[in-house]
Each structure stands twice: as C-alpha cells, then as structure tokens.
Amino acid sequence: MKTVTLKRGLALALDGAPEQTLHDGPPIRHVAWQRPANTLLQPEEAVTEGQPVRMGEGLFRDRHAPQVRHLAPASGIVSRIERDSRQQLTAIEIRCDASMACRVERFAPVDNAHQLRDLLQRSGLWTHLRQRPFETTPPPDATPAAIFITAMDTRPLAADPAVIIAARATEFGIGVDALAMLTAGPVYVCQEKASRLPDRQCKRVQVVAFSGTHPAGLAGVHIQQLYPCDREHPVWHIDCQDVIAIGTLLQSGTLDFGRVIALAGSNVRQPRLLKTRLGARLDDLLAGQLRDTKNTDPICGSVFAGKHRRWLDRFDRQVVSSGMLSMRSGTAVSFMSKSGAKSGTRSGTRSGAESGDIQLNGFAAEPRFDRISALSMPAVPLLRTLARLDFAAAESMGCLDLAAEDLELHAFVCPVGNDYPAALTRCHRQLTGHP
Amino acid sequence: MNLPEWRPGHTSGNTPVTSPLTSVWQAERIALLWLLALAPAVGFAIWQEPAGWLRTAFLVALLLQAWQLLFRLMLPPAGALFSIQDLVHALLFALLLPVDFGIREIVFTVSFGSVFGDRLFGGRGFSFLNPVVTGMGFALFTFSSTSSDIPLSAVPIAALLIPAIVLTSVELISIRTLLGILASAVFLLAGSPGEAASWQLEQSSTLALVALYLVTDPAAGGSTDASRFAHGLLFGVLAMVLLHADQDVLAAAINAALLASLSAPLLDHLVVQMLAYRRGQRLLLQRRAVVDAVMAAGKEGRSPAAGPERDQADV
C-alpha cells in the first residue's frame, strides 16, 4: 500500500469531538431534495405542493440531462417547494409519512460500464459524483481519467469514515469495484494511515494512505498528490458513504438514503455519530440534542466555512453546534461570539463574495501560509494569482485540481481576512467562460 | 469535452456564514509582534541618544499618521485611522535615518517612502517594496552629499538575536531568507577574515538591522521556499559587492535590500515557472499512461472502459 506523508497542515483540538460509535438518529419528519451546486439544471414537470410522493419516485425531469433522475428521499406529501429570485427550483421538502409504501423498484444487476452508468443515473446516485476541474456534477456522458474515493476525513470534529466503512465493508467493496468500471485510469481509495482497507482484486484500484493533519483528508490534496487533472482529463471524486450506497444498490437492488453524520461541538449533549438520512431537516435532527437551543446557530459542514442550512446537503458529513465556542489550551485559535464573528472583516468579505464582488484586503505573504498548505504548489504565489485575477497563471499552477473547500484553511489563517475560496470560485467561473 | 455551464447553485435558506473560529493571526496582532521584536533595538537607541532619537521617532510617526489620514480621506475606505504597522515603520525609519538629517530631509524621506512604497499602491500587501527601504533608498540617492550616513544609534548584534528567534519561530519571517543572508556572509567573509574584524559596531549593526527587519519583510521578499533563500543570498552578495565598491555601510545595505526586493518577483516567477513546467510534464506522462493502457487493452481485444460509446466493456 502506498503511503503519502504530509508534513504541513493545521491541527485544531476543539471541544465536543464526537464519540466514534454509530448511534440511531432521532426520527426525521421532513426531508428535502436540494439543488446541487455548480450544476446546470432545468427542471420541468416537477411535483406540486400537496402532492403525495413515494420514496424513489422522480421529483422532476431535468431538461438538460433527462437520463439523470432526481428522486424523492422519503415517502410523504410535498410540503414546500422553494425557488430563488430567478424562479429557479432550489428545494423540495417532503413531510414524511411512514404509512406510505416505498416505490418498489428493484434495479437489475449490471454487467458492464454502460449499464452501471445507466443505473447510477436512474437511481440519482450520479449526482453524488463530483468532477474536477470546477467541482460540478459530471455530464451524463463524461468519462473520468481517474476516480478518487475519499475514505478519510481530517476536518476538526469530523466522523471517522473507517468506523462507517467497517460496519458495511461488503457494500463498500462492491461499490469500489463497480466504480472501477467507469474509468480506464486508476481508482484511488484514499484513507488514513492507521485504518487498513482490504486490497482490491482489480489492479487499477489502489489503496493509498495519507498521514498528516488537516487538510490531508481533502480530495483536492489527494488529486494534486496522485493524479492532477486538466480540462481534457477530468477526475471524479466521491465520498465513501456514497460508494456504500452504490454498493447497496448493486447488491440488493434497493436505494439507500441513509447517511451517517458527526453531530459535534461543545453545545451538543452527546457528541457522536448519528445514522440519519439524506436531506434530513436540521430541526428534526437536532431535537433534544443541544444544551442551549436559544443562543446557537448550528452549521453544516466544516468548522472553517460551514453554512447555516435548514436541511442537510447531500455532501454534508458533520453538523457542529458550538454556541459560545470554547477553546482548548494550546491551539492557535480564538473564538468569538457569533455576533462578533459576523461583524468581523472575514464575514464582510464572505457576504461580498455571494454578490460576486470580492474585496481583497491587501495580500499577506507570511511563511505561515506554507506551513498549513498541503498543496503541491507553493501557496503564496497561487493565492497571489487568485487575488490579482491572473487566471491563466492560476490554471498553470494547478487551480483546476482544487475546489473552494481546499482553500478554507488559507482563508482561516489569512491575517487580513481574504476570502480565498470565493476568489477561487470566481477564477473557475472565469475559466469556464461563463461569467 | 464540453464544459458544463457554471451556475451558482445556492440552495434557498442556506445563508453562507463565516467560520465560528477566528484565527489569532490578525493583521494588527502581527504588527504588534513586530513592534515587540523591535524593542531591543529601540531600547538601545533610546539609551544612547534619548532626546534626539525620540524626537526623530516622534516626527516620523506623526508624518506617517498624517499620510495615513490624508489617503483615508482621499480614497475611502483605505484602512484604519491608526495602524500599528505605521508605528513599526516609524521606529525602523528612526533607527536608520542618518544622524545629521534635518527636518526637511526627514520629511522628504519619510513621505517618499510612505507614498511611493506603500500608499499609492493601496497599502501594505499591495506593493512589493518595503516603505522604509524605498524611503531610505530615495534619501541616500538624493541627500548623499549632505549626510554622513551614520545612523543615530548602534545596536549590538546580540540584541537582535532574540527578536530573530521569535520572529522565525512564529513564522512571521522566513528562516530561509535569514539562512540565505548568513550563507552569503559566511561565504564572502571566508575569503577575507580581516575585513569583518575591522568593522565598527555601527557597520555590523546597520547591516544586521536592515537584514533582520527589512530584507525579511514577507511583503517585499520571495514567496516560495527557494526564492526566499535566493532573495536572502542575493541581498548578502549585493551588500558585499557594494561595500567593496566603497559605498558606506548604510547605503550598501539599503541599496542591496532595494535591488533584492526588486528582483524578488523575478525569483518567484522563475521558481513558479519551473514548478508549472514539472506539473505539465507530469500531466503529459499521465496522458501517455492512459493512451498506453487503452492501446494495450485494444490489442487484447477488449476495452477497459467506460464511456457510453464503449458498450461491451469488460467488467
């Protein structure tokens, strides 16, 4: 097994680390389908409010990719349909009804890559794949040069994927072998050094161990280390839990909408791993779980740049509720109250990023950037190209391997609060030619 | 391959938030650390020449503050009303300004450094020059006939040791730049050991001050490991060459720092080009490997993958 040792990174010890054992989550009464980011999607023939739907039924048809289906993650009544200011469908919420039966569709076993591709698109699992460059859902006819399976998570307060995989090793193995059909190139299973996954039969599947602190577990780091991509040779990456869902689909022919998330943070009564489901409403998920329910605003995703959401996103693997966050001694961070953080420079630039206007406050070139950065290129010149809108140089330096999550740590340590994830997104937008 | 159109897919109800964590490395705290690192040198200066030195430092600080206010009025919102970084620059100016500079010379020197080395480009982090180096370079060029080039104070090198260790250990300055400077000094002085011994305290002190506080400025130096070392090395070599060319020590140190700063972007560019070339080569190798795999599979009469055009792929 190949081992990659990363010496650079940032280890944060935060209070409220989750106990790494699987627990059943609270009952979920509402789930939602949410629009995947960075994807061209033109829904038509969508369900209407009040309409009953069964788990596994299509919610709408996408005009651009009719073969990729978007399925209801639970049976119940469509309770809410949300659109943004441009009238684009953004979310469909379903009030779960346990008495309603699932739509029983036994997906037939697959024999070749074409059938597998078709199966993934019909079952909605296609939208769990992400393609780089540009971190989009892959086009239905795309072929990757390599596939990365992320079986590790180094973000603070994250769940250990090894625990989740250990509980469903067979399905994971089937999923990995199946993904190898989709590419002629290598399939990398990236895991932590300590956990050992069984070697696969297919020679193109390589288990690679990454040792090091965050960001050693990010797909961008794996891609830069093992198989950098460019426009003509995109790579895909997928989370290990989605691989398990693919394995389940292939093994039993049924859809698996269950996911495990880490519920963590100092405001959580019992930080632990919860079995819940895709798109679960946060109010249901957190009922009875928090110490202080009034002065808290739980975030989904990484503690460095999570979001306030009403429902879990398909890629969220942790929910952090910290209230007034406390700090363990010896870490290089201080915590501000929520109001303090919102009035700070950093959030000012972040909100500017949403409207497309990114204010960069000068450029800090301290050597510290290099210590936390595990990118294959020196961090400071890359960040400088992003700050100075030199997109061609950024492309030659490998910004196509990266997604916004890979620069969250750089924004965190930036003394002038520059929003590098937003700058990278802007760069990608320019490079795709769709400003 | 057709790239999919990029469209921001913000899901409704999801407000982007900042991290609940905030790094302790805020700009003002970093400037405060620089201020602390200057304490030994400032202490010596005050001890040697209390009235004169404090008067100069006060005047410089006042001037920098005046420019800060003026630019804030002209180009709002350009920074805070008061910045600790300005105080750091004021102390550095006061440590390096020659002893016989009058008020007129000081005003011109500091104003040139502040305006052209810093504010016209948008403040710290936008320019690639250190304002103190810019201002002093201008002064030594313009007022060279009137000045004796001896700084107000001389600080023993030993007093700079602790700041050097502190600044490198928290990675505000690069140890590679310092190593580059040391390497050049050792290499060049090994040839003529008598020369270093003949130096006065003022000379070694000035060189050390410039090397530690001005050359290592991350905003004005290299930004990759290799270019940081090369930048330090270049400063050392240039300083020695200029000293041999019979420039006095302050002019040699400042001019060397200025030239090294000007060539730092070039050094960065070379390193980045080399790394980008390596990346390109690696991508090329990867492509060849994929083509080889497809060819090999074709010879064996099977297709290893994957796309919709290859229906009967082997599983």
Q: Is residue B229 part of a domain?
A: yes
C-beta atoms of B4 and A39 within 8 A? yes
Contact list, B29 vs chain A (CB under 8 Å): 415
Q: In this predicted structure, what is the pLDDT of residue A323?
A: 57
Letter for the amino acid at A199? D
Tell me the average pLDDT across A222-244.
Answer: 91
Nearest chain B Cα to A349, which residue?
Answer: B18
C-alpha span between B110 and B116 (Å, rounded) = 10
**Shortest CA distance from A229: residue in chain B:** B283
Chain B CB contacts of A309 under 8 Å are 11, 13-14
| In-domain check, residue B2 | no
Calculate helix-pair angle for B50-74, B103-117, nearest 10 degrees.
Answer: 40
What is the chain B residue with the closest CA to A348? B18
* Among candidates A227, A381, A428 on the partner chain, residue whose Cβ is nearest the Cβ of B272: A381
What share of chain A in percent tops pLDDT 90? 13
Instruction: Flag the least confident range among A81-85, A318-322, A345-349.
Output: A345-349
DSSP character string of B47-72? HHSHHHHHHHHHHHHHHHHHHHHHHH
Nearest residue, CB atoms, B223 vs list A111, A378, A429: A378
Residue B130 lies in a domain: yes
**How far apart are alpha carbons A49 and A78 in whole angstroms?**
5
The tokens describing B273, both together, are 């080009």
Q: Do A91 and B11 touch (CB under 8 A)?
A: yes
> Does B9 map to a domain?
no
Q: What's the CA gap between B247 and B147, in Å, rounded?
A: 13
Query: To the nearest 10°, the Cα dihedral for A188, A189, A192, A196?
Result: -130
Task: Identify the pLDDT of residue A243.
Answer: 93
User: Do the domain assignments include residue B287?
Assistant: no
pLDDT at B232: 93
Ordered domains of chain A (ranges, CATH)? 2-16+108-252 (3.40.50), 30-96 (2.40.50), 344-432 (no CATH)
B312–A145: do the CB atoms touch at under 8 Å?
Answer: no
Which residue of chain B comes nearest to A351, CA vs CA? B16
> Where do we find the tokens 């890629």?
A315
B76 touches chain A (CB under 8 A): no
Whole-number pLDDT of residue B96: 85
**B69: amino acid identity, one letter:** L
Give the residue from chain B lying closest to A14, CA to CA.
Answer: B21
Q: Which residues contact A186 (CB under 8 A, 6 or more apart)?
A: A146, A147, A204, A205, A206, A226, A227
- Higher-pLDDT residue of A128 and B159 is A128
Closest of A87, A19, A15, A8 to residue A262, by C-alpha: A19
Inter-chain touch A40–B11, beta carbons under 8 Å: no
- How confident is chain B (315 residues) per 10-residue block, as mean pLDDT? 28 38 70 88 84 87 89 69 85 84 87 86 76 90 69 75 87 88 82 62 78 87 90 91 80 90 92 91 85 75 46 34
Q: Look at B9 and A35 and tell me if their CB atoms are within 8 Å.
A: yes
A150: pLDDT strictly greater than 80: yes
Identify the closest residue of chain A to B175 by CA–CA distance. A367
**What are the DSSP E strand ranges found in chain B?**
15-16, 21-23
Q: Which strand (E) or helix (H) includes residue B86?
A: helix B84-96
Q: Is the peptide bond before B151 cis (omega within 30 degrees of 0)?
A: no
Q: What's the CA gap between A380 and A164, in Å, rounded? A: 36
Q: Kindly give the pairing relationship between strand A205-211 and strand A2-5.
A: parallel
Domain that holds residue B157: 27-273
CA A349 to chain B, closest CA, distance in angstroms equals 9
- For residues A214-239, give the mean pLDDT: 91
* B59 within a domain of the structure (yes/no): yes
- In a domain? residue B294: no
A335: enclosing H helix or E strand = strand A333-335
Instruction: Give A6-27 as a DSSP string.
Output: --------BS-PPEEEEEEPPP
Q: Which residues of A touch B271 (CB under 8 A)?
A: 378, 381
Instruction: Compare CB distances from A335 to B3, B18, B22 and report the shortest one's residue.
Output: B22
- Determine whether the interchain pair B23/A413 forms a contact, defined as Cβ–Cβ distance below 8 Å: yes
CA–CA gap between residue B125 and residue A377 (Å, rounded): 21
User: Taking CB atoms and an 8 Å cutoff, what residues of chain B touch A381?
Assistant: 223-224, 268, 271-272
Angle CA A319–A88–A245, to nearest 5:
45
Segment A394-418 shows an average pLDDT of: 85
* pLDDT value at residue B90: 92
Q: What is the pLDDT of residue B119?
A: 80
Find the mean pLDDT for residues A12-40: 85
Tell me, yes or no, if B197 comes closer than 8 A to chain A by beta carbon. Answer: no
pLDDT beyond 90 at A242: yes
Q: Does residue A263 sit in helix, strand or coil?
A: strand
Interface test with B, best of A14, A300, A371, A380 (most B CBs within 10 A): A380
Interface of A with B in 208-247 (CB under 8 A): 227-228, 230-234
Strands A130-132 and A235-239: antiparallel
> How many A-B residue pairs are in contact by the CB < 8 A criterion?
257
Chain A, 334-363: which have a CB under 8 Å from a chain B CB?
A: 334-336, 338, 340-342, 344, 346-347, 350-351, 353-354, 361-363
Q: Find residues 296-315 of chain B whose CB sits inside 8 Å of chain A.
A: 297, 304-308, 310-315
Q: How many domains does chain B have?
A: 1
List all residues of chain A from 114 to 153 with a beta carbon under 8 Å from chain B: 114, 117, 134, 136-137, 139, 141-145
Please name the residues between 147 and 206 in chain A that touch chain B, using a CB distance below 8 Å: 181-185
How many angstroms separate the Cα of A349 from the Cα of each of A43, A343, A356?
A: 32, 11, 10
**Among all chains, which residue has been given the structure tokens 């497309």?**
A356
CA distance B72 to chain A (A): 14
Alpha helices in A227-344 (DSSP H): 240-252, 282-285, 338-343
**pLDDT the model gives residue A361:** 62
Q: What are the chain A neighbours of B17 within 8 Å (beta carbons)?
A: 297, 299, 306-308, 342, 347, 350
Residue B233: what pLDDT?
93
Query: Phi/psi zone of residue B301: left (φ > 0), alpha (ψ -120 to 50 degrees), beta?
Result: left
The answer, for B4 touching chain A at a CB cutoff of 8 Å, is: yes
Largest CA-CA distance found in chain A, in angstroms, rounded: 60
| B31 lies in some domain | yes
Q: Mutating which of B7, B26, B75, B179 best tests the A interface, going by the most A Cβ atoms within 10 A?
A: B7
Sign of the alpha-carbon torsion through A333, A193, A382, B181:
positive
- Return the pLDDT at B2: 32
Among partner residues A113, A228, A362, which is closest to B283 by beta-carbon distance? A228
pLDDT of residue A329: 29
Who wins on pLDDT, A13 or A234? A234
Residue B13: its pLDDT value, please?
A: 33
pLDDT at A201: 66
Contacts of B312 in chain A (CB under 8 A): 112
**Looking at the predicted structure, is the pLDDT value of residue A304 above 90?**
no
Nearest to B21 among A34, A335, A347 (CB): A335
